[in-house]
Amino acid sequence: MPKVTIDVTPEQIVDILRDLPPEELRLVLATIGGRLEVREWMRLQESAFQEWLTEPELYADEPSAR
């Protein structure tokens, strides 16, 4: 099945969501909330990993040459 891309403004999304029944709106918001949480954890993990890479080797026999 071919993918279709539709340009939608945030205002149009608000209008669409406003028309949803309450239960469907809850489902959409829960799904969006879950995806935002995953993205935030991924961002935090990436930044923590970058910090970890720049830390000196504490347990190395010799200091690193970084």
In a domain, 44, yes or no: yes
In a domain, 63, yes or no: no
In a domain, 9, yes or no: no
In a domain, 36, yes or no: yes
| pLDDT greater than 90 at residue 64 | no
Structural domain containing residue 30? 23-51
Supply the pTM of this predicted model.
0.57
| pLDDT greater than 70 at residue 2 | yes
Q: pLDDT digit string (tens) for 36-45? A: 999 999 988 8
In a domain, 30, yes or no: yes
Q: pLDDT digit string (tens) for 9-37? A: 999 999 999 999 999 999 999 999 999 99
- The total domain count for the chain is 1
In a domain, 59, yes or no: no
| CA 31/CA 51 separation, integer angstroms | 30
> Which residues, other chains included, contact 28 with Cβ-Cβ below 8 Å and sequence gap of 6+?
17, 20
